Amino acid sequence: MNKKWLAPILPYLAVWAGLFLFKSAWLALTGFHAVILLALFIARPSLPVETLFKSKNPKWMLASVILCGLSGISLYAFWDMFDTAGDLSAHLKEIGLSGGAWLPFIAYFAIVNPFVEEYFWRGFLGHSTKKLYVGDFVFAGYHAMILWDKVPLLTVFVALILLVTAGWLWRQIQREDEGLLAPVLGHAAADLSILLCVYLQVGLCTSLL
């Protein structure tokens, strides 16, 4: 296996340490970004950073945003169909997501995270194949730690299938559009819509207590 595939190990460890060792969503997220940037600094990939802002056709940006933005809207609409492992608001509060911490976290996650992740997963570790690729599964895998102990295992499994599909979709958009801007915007729409859904369903209620 190419040595660059050792790069995802540190992001996985950063998320694990932040969530389970230090009980901090902020530390998990910023640590995740820090080790990704460190891995990129060491690897020095040839892919120019400017590709994050490149798109050949606005239709890909629009399609990516609309399709991925539906993820949070769908979650909100069908929220009552999902079960949680215990008190979800208590789980989130335990890792620092309550009260005034919610909105800055959502803003940082929706604005910064898509650029870091898309360059890393679809750029540095990406592939042009139309088939499912190992990188799609590696990208989806670390989300299992985020969902672990917060939702039932069946929900985790379903989420991983959807995330593998999202990783594959963003690779195909990048391949067709020859740039990462459309995947970045779609990723941002997904992150923002999903986190806003959770905030409205759980975080807003706890912040008013």
pLDDT digit string (tens) for 19-54?
A: 999 999 999 999 999 999 999 999 999 999 999 999
Establish if 15 belongs to a structural domain. no
Average predicted confidence (pLDDT) for the chain:
92
Domain tally, the chain: 1
In a domain, 81, yes or no: yes
Neighbours of 65 (CB within 10 A): 18
Higher-confidence position of 61 and 148 = 61
The shares of helix, strand and coil residues in the chain, as percent rounded to the nearest 5, are 80, 0, 20
Residue 39 lies in a domain: no
For 84-107, what is the mean pLDDT? Answer: 89
**What pLDDT is stored for residue 85 in this prediction?**
64
Domain extent, residue 75, equals 50-207
Residue 150's pLDDT is what?
83
pLDDT at 82: 77
